[in-house]
Amino acid sequence: MELTVDAPAPQDDDAGPHDQAVVARRPPRNRPRRVPLPAPVLAVIWVLASIGGLAVWLLLYAYVLSGFGEASAQHALYAELRTDIAQGTAKLGGKIALGTPVALLKIPQAGVDDVVLEGTTSGVLEQGPGLEADSPLPGQAGVSIIDGRQALFGGPFRHLSALRPGDVLQVTTGAGIFEYRVMDLRYPGDPYPAQLPPGQGRLTLVTVTSAGWRGGALRNEFLYVDTALISKAVASPIGQPTQIPKNQLLMQGDPSVLFVLVLWMQLLVIVVLTLVWVSTRWAGWQTWLVGAPVVMAILWIASEAAFQLLPNLL
């Protein structure tokens, strides 16, 4: 007697429409639900992200973008000064408006080839070196003083310490081309140069040295480069200011821009809130395409004003 067992029918891999419908009616597997973060936690995250983003922007602007701004300003100032000298309308002294280009300073040994502006406020020195308003123009009799930044906004005077006694520099004004010879590099506590004889000229370049990244890139001490005029001095026009306001002194900021800064920051908040509202109605890329240039422009202008609150030689 034989024992027979029915073998299971082979299963067809290709399920028919009826089988597919049965599979489709199967309940889905339970997936873990995402629990939204509480509103206070989201607020803290947004605040920290905003502060971090602002800090990164300020560092980027200070050490990279501000140099581009200074270079652009120098390009426009050079064209203005060149036109004024060619037309004989360049300022030669007296009371000159702040920010007016008055001279072209060339110091090959220190990599300086910059237009010098009138005044030494923090805002003026964002565009290039500045002539102290109570000193005569270079080439004129007397002691001319030019201040320049060490690190920010292109740092035009960052290599002044490379100068050595005997080096020659050149200054061009509306009165002509004048040459100066470096006498010495002076630091706080060093003796002042001898009293200037009548009819002679001297130019002193002023900046600060830096402690570098290890020292936080903060001011270390002042650096003065005294140079003697070796060309023939010209007379100084009358009407020269005898003193300068506090915001033009060494290592002073300009608090007068605080009101302007507050206005730009308010505009930035309004723009950001507007973009948040627009993002609920537009696609994400459309919001970024329209909003990013506006936000960047406002940040640039606000940063330019904010850095005027800092010492003018940094």
Please report the pLDDT score of residue 218 as a whole number.
45
Q: What is the pLDDT of residues 103-152, one digit of tens each?
A: 999 999 999 999 999 999 999 999 999 999 999 999 999 999 999 999 99
| Domains observed in the chain | 54-250 (2.40.260.10), 256-309 (no CATH)
Please report the pLDDT score of residue 201 as a whole number.
96
Please report the pLDDT score of residue 277 as a whole number.
83
Q: Which residues of the chain have pLDDT under 50?
A: 1-3, 5, 211-219
Please report the pLDDT score of residue 214 as a whole number.
41
Q: 56 is written with which tokens?
A: 């990164």
Give how far Cα 5 sits from Cα of 10, 53, 287, Å: 15, 75, 71
Please report the pLDDT score of residue 9 as a whole number.
52
pTM for the predicted model, two decimal places: 0.81
Report the alpha-carbon angle 124-127-132, nearest 5. Answer: 40
Name the E strands within 155-281. Answer: 168-173, 176-186, 201-210, 219-229
Give dist(CA 313, CA 249) in Å, integer: 10
Q: What is the pLDDT of residues 48-67, one digit of tens each?
A: 877 888 889 989 999 899 99
Q: Could you tell me if 276 and 290 are in contact, meaning their C-beta atoms sit under 8 angstroms apart?
A: no
**CB-based contacts of 22, cutoff 8 Å, min separation 6:** none
